[in-house]
Chain A
Amino acid sequence: MSKKYRSLLSATGLMLALIQPAMAAEKTEVLHWWTTEAQSKAVKVFADAFNAAGGQWVDNAIVNGDVAKPTGINRIVGGNPPTVMMMNAGKQFGELADAGLLRNLDDVGSAENWKQVLPADVLEAVSRDGHIYAVPVNLQTPNWLWYNRALFEKFKVQEPKTWEEFFAAADTFKAGGVIALAFGAQPWQQHQLFNGVLAGAGGRELYLSIFRDKNPEATETPEFKRVAEVYAKIRSYTDPGTPNRSFNEAASMVITGKAAMHIMGDWEKGEFSAAGWVAGKDYGCVLGLGEQNFLMDSNVFIMPKASSEAASQSQALMAKIMLDKDVQVNFNNLKGSMPVRNDVDTSGLDACSKIGLEVLKDPSKQLAGPDWLAGADMLNSLADVVVQYWATPSQTPEEFAQKYAAVLEQFQD
């Protein structure tokens, strides 16, 4: 008899334990997908600072962004949102804001003077109809060229600054039996590389007329033809094992000396650091081959509308903490990206981040990333054309330009 009661009691206890998180409103659930070693250390900076300021951080990390994002969106739509959720800047959260599901952060923004300390493009990317709906926490660019310094010294190759110099260097490595460019031909990597070429070899004007103006005629210019040719030429400097290779496998080819160079975003530094490499000593970095543009991309956190006053207050606290000067430096050093504020102390940053910040100071080199200018549907439809071009050596630049223009045609507003 007593046994029966005990099991009943423990069952009730279990149920209470399950219900409890929903009742305790002061707990702040943060949904994100930063799970690699470097990333989770970086997230811990936020958590520690938040807890020290009197909040209670409840971590909800989901391994894959493509899983985490729909999970969070479903919960927001279903009325049981996480208190804070990670997102990409740009058009992605726009629809949620339009549906009135996100908290307006104008109050925190004006109290913390965000208009002065954040770059205008960044502020634009987290706003919708003039209201701020997300907290940007870092800046990164996908068009870095990383290289193995030991190999560069062995082959007496100078750091390339333009695409011509890049191909000259690549020829030297190819002749010497080293894979010139490590590459993983997954759609996102191919599209990212192409956009880097577009901004570097094609230039600012062309880039903006494609992603911002969605102008199909831009593909008929000589600049676009050059972009298509450069992109196709890169193909011949990669090895046959590229299909479906992940970016960290490609990074490890540079680390082991199998390949000399790799074009990838700031997060590459996480792989290098994990291998014990130091920026400027073991590896070098060049930002934006050709026209040096910083293709701004940012991770942001959105705050779904909360029902309780307490949750709303902890959201305001979270927004304040994430953009704190010291938190910004510590977080971005661990994450491998750059602080989004323009008034932080830069002495603690690594050699490559310093280059990036130097470039960022010049507004004519700041360029909004594709995600800030166009929706996911259009970008991925363009990516389809780009990956097809890469996989089909027989396709001419003219045919490619036609297909590219056809997609732009489809997305005229």
Chain B
Amino acid sequence: MKQRPIRWSVYVGLMPAILIVVFAYLGTMIWTVGISFTDSRMLPAARFAGVNQYIRLFATDRWLTSIQNMVIFGVLMIGISLVLGFLLAVAIDQRVRAEGVLRTVILYPYAMSFIVTGLVWQWILNPTLGIEKTVRGWGFESFRFDWIVGQDTAIYCVVLAGVWHAAGLVMAIMLAGLRGIDPDLWKASRIDGIKPWRFYLHIVIPVLRPSFISATVLLSLGVVKLYDLVLVLTGGGPGFSSDVPAKFVMDYLFQRQNIGLATAAATTLLVTVLCVLTPWLYTEYFRRQTPKG
């Protein structure tokens, strides 16, 4: 077989994009990793400090808490959003009345910024302003809903607001998937007398696999960069019990004037994400293609 000639014009056309990727993404990434091995404070400086920043980082309670919170938030928020979004999509797919209105209402939270979401939920969850006060006002004096002021529970408030924000998006993706399912499958299942829940579980969910994957990818990006929601909702508190890595990095970068430690944290985060994502992306996107070819 004759080898195809390299088409240089293509590369020339792609040059701007390649330059941006190399300098703006890879370049800054390498620079960040480099700075994390220095003792830079307010300004980046090339004073090599070995792994000192990493030693301090992993001796810092606040960093360990924030990593733990990222895992709790990630697992719960993605899990609950997927289940809830799927159920909502199924419910709406039953050709209900006023479907357009419902769809808009459910998708609406996603159109709101995290700042607004955080502020609204901060008031709703505040025991002296929101739900707790209202229910007590109805006469249930012993009612308690003060998650946001508890050290062990504050992160679940962030999960709650996160799910409220993201479930609508998952629903929209799932609904599009459901609408794409071959109508003949429905007819066949009805003729065979298969119960609806079994049909959903064993046929619809496997068919919707790509929708689940794209929803998961979108949501997990949100997990890693989670910052503004926490900032407004809990401020990372009480104490630093609901802190997250992005907030940790931002604090050290700008308020605490310790660029070295901040970049060490950012690098750790990058490595963690790569370790989790690489095997998964590999199995999802690359390995499955080989048998087909």
- In the complex, chain B residues whose CB is within 8 Å of the CB of A376: 255-258
- In the complex, chain B residues whose CB is within 8 Å of the CB of A243: 148-149, 154, 234-235, 237-238
State the majority secondary structure of interface residues on A: helix
Report the minimal beta-carbon distance from B131 to chain A, rounded to whole angstroms: 13
- Interface segment among A2-10, A54-62, A341-349, A388-396: the answer is A388-396
Contact B151 A391 (CB under 8 A): yes
- In the complex, chain B residues whose CB is within 8 Å of the CB of A391: 151, 237-239, 241
Contact A244 B254 (CB under 8 A): no
Report the minimal beta-carbon distance from B73 to chain A, rounded to whole angstroms: 17
- In the complex, chain B residues whose CB is within 8 Å of the CB of A375: 41, 257
A99 at the interface (CB under 8 A from B): yes
B93 at the interface (CB under 8 A from A): no
Contact B257 A187 (CB under 8 A): no
- Interface segment among B121-129, B187-195, B266-274: the answer is B121-129
Report the minimal beta-carbon distance from B221 to chain A, rounded to whole angstroms: 23
Q: Digit string of A159-172 for contact with B (CB within 8 Å is 1, else 0)?
A: 00000000000000
A384 at the interface (CB under 8 A from B): yes
- In the complex, chain A residues whose CB is within 8 Å of the CB of B252: 377
Bound form: Cα–Cα A376–B253 in Å:
11
State the majority secondary structure of interface residues on B: loop
A-B contact count (CB 8 A): 83
A107 at the interface (CB under 8 A from B): no
Contact A187 B128 (CB under 8 A): no
Given the interface pairs A376-B257, A377-B258, A380-B255, the reply to whether A187 lies near B127 with Cβ below 8 Å is: no
A388: which of B240, B258, B261 is its contact (CB, 8 Å)?
B240
- How big is chain B's contact interface, by range? 20 to 34
Contact B256 A240 (CB under 8 A): no
Bound form: Cα–Cα A391–B239 in Å:
5
Per the CB 8 Å criterion, the residue count for chain A at the interface is 30
Contact B151 A77 (CB under 8 A): no
- In the complex, chain B residues whose CB is within 8 Å of the CB of A69: 254
Please report which residues of chain A, range 365-404, place their CB below 8 angstroms from some CB of chain B when the two chains form the complex.
375-377, 380-381, 384, 387-388, 390-392
Given the interface pairs A99-B43, A185-B238, the reply to whether A241 lies near B127 with Cβ below 8 Å is: yes
Q: Name the CB-closest residue of B to A240.
A: B127
Contact A186 B146 (CB under 8 A): no
B62 at the interface (CB under 8 A from A): yes
A95-B257, A185-B238, A391-B237 given; 10 more Cβ-contact pairs under 8 Å: A70-B253, A96-B42, A187-B235, A243-B148, A243-B149, A376-B256, A377-B256, A388-B61, A390-B238, A391-B151
By a beta-carbon cutoff of 8 Å, the part of chain A in contact with chain B is 66, 69-70, 73, 77, 92, 95-96, 99, 185-187, 239-244, 375-377, 380-381, 384, 387-388, 390-392, 410
